[in-house]
Each structure stands twice: as structure tokens, then as C-alpha cells.
Amino acid sequence: MQERMPNAPRIKPVAEVIEDTKLTPQVHAPEYWVPRQEIPFSKEYIGLQIKVAKEIAQRLGAPLSKVADDYTTVLRYYTEPNTPDYIDTSTMSDEQAAEAIFEKEKTRLTREAPIKYSDYDRYGCFSFMTHTGGTGEDLKGRVDIHFSNKELDGTGPLDHEKINRRLKELKDLFTAIKKENPDAKYVRGDSWLYNIQAYTRLFPESYLAHPEIDNSEGALVTERTWGQFVDGHLQLKAELGEQFLKNIRELAEVSPETVRGAMPLQALIVTAPIEDFYKMYGVE
């Protein structure tokens, strides 16, 4: 993300944004929010997953469906035989396979309703998940927060001009959490986004103080790692994708651990007490 230019519009301090957004959990869509249809990942991004999966399958001598299930996000839904969404790509070029999956994704998304600003656990581009029913010590009082570009207005959701929007959404989200989940104790995040200042500037310093790399196998089949390969319009970052492919081809041994390590950016796990978020966003 680019740093702010001298002639960029003024960005309000957090305190001013909070003062402007004294809202309850039952919020109306702000003026900037226009419900839009969700869009599919680009054919080029799907193509990258196909190339990565084929490279790994060849190295491991494993079926493409198995590799796709273990190492990809979009492709894994279309390579399992005898399932409703299966696409037989055995006689297709990589480009033809990417086109077929893209068209199926586009058809699926056109059946979805336009994205509202809030939907219980989502406010704008942020969503949360609580673990109030969890019994393990690591789940008690935990709230996970997630980010996804649901604005889809043609500019990046983390641009400087949109900081105020994202802070507003975070206040709405944590206001809802405090009202509906009073037992929440701490917040957890897990994403490649915690490597970039355009995202981390939205959160308390304590949240970012002790990041840990996500070494779980699940990191390879979610956008918390794969998301780094697309821009705000879900188009492939071609150079980054090529670097990832090059890194995989140079691996001495292929495994979930080494493929995760070949990612240009790692998914980072961060945590902090939820009170730090209430304080930052002015949630009472």
C-alpha cells in the first residue's frame, strides 16, 4: 500500500471518527455503503492455484484432487469427482480449466443477494466470530475478527481515503460484540494482512505487539494466506504469483510446512484484550 501523499485528503484522528459514529449495534448503512453483488476471483488467480496444485501433485506423485484439497482455496471445490461441482479438467489446458471454474464461480455468486452493510456478525468489510460455547481454555472468551473486501466500489478497501470508513465499521462491530457477548475477553486475528501497515494502523498497538506465524495446515486452504495474491479488485498480483511458483519449484522437499514457507508473506496470529479495542474505538 502507498504511503499518504502530501496533497491527500485529510484523515480524521481516531477520536474524531469515533465522535462522528456514536451508533448502536442496530445500525443503518452509512452513506458511503452501496450494496453490490459479490464478484469472483479472477481467472488469472484461479489459474495460479491450478499451476501450484499441478506442480505439487507432480512433485508428490499425488492426485490433483488431493493436492487441491490440501493446498488451495478455490480449486479445491471443483476437483473432487462424484461431487455436484466437479469439473473434469483432465483434457483442458490450464487456461480452459481456469475459465470453466471462473464461470461456475460467477454463476454461483449471481444467485447471492447484494451485500448489505451489516448482517449480525458483519459490519462493512469486517466480521467476527465468538466462541461462547467453547470449552477449551484457548476458546473461552475469544473473539475472532476477519476482513474481506465487501465494498467493491472500484478502489482498494485499505486506501488512505477509506481509513475513516474502516474505523467506523470496527466501532460498529465492537459495539455489537460488547452488547451481545459481554463475556468476550480477548480478540484474535490470523491473516497475511498483519504484515502491512495499511491494515495494522486500524488496530491497538497491543494487538500487534507479539505476532506469531500461523503454522497450521488450515492456513493453506484459506484466504488468510492466499489473499496476498489478489488486489482490492480480486485480480491476480502476477509478479507475486510468479515468485510463489518459483519458490515452490526450488523447494528441496514439498510438504505443507515448506509450501507455507514459500509464501512471500506468512499469515500472522495476533491477540490482545478486548478492552483495548473498546478503548480505541470509544465503545461504552
Task: Look up the pTM and report it.
Answer: 0.87
Residue 138 confidence class, pLDDT cut points 50, 70, 90: low
pLDDT score recorded for residue 26: 53
pLDDT score recorded for residue 3: 35
Report d(CA 185, CA 17) in Å as an integer. Answer: 25
Helices 238-249 and 43-60: crossing angle in degrees, nearest 10, is: 0
- Summarised one tens digit per residue, pLDDT across range 64-110 is 999 999 999 999 999 999 999 999 999 999 999 999 999 999 999 98
> What value does the mean pLDDT take over residues 59-63?
96
Return contacts of 178-181, CB within 8 angstroms, 24+ apart: 178/278, 178/283, 179/24, 179/25, 180/25, 181/130, 181/132, 181/143
- Summarised one tens digit per residue, pLDDT across range 237-268 is 999 999 999 999 999 999 999 999 999 999 99
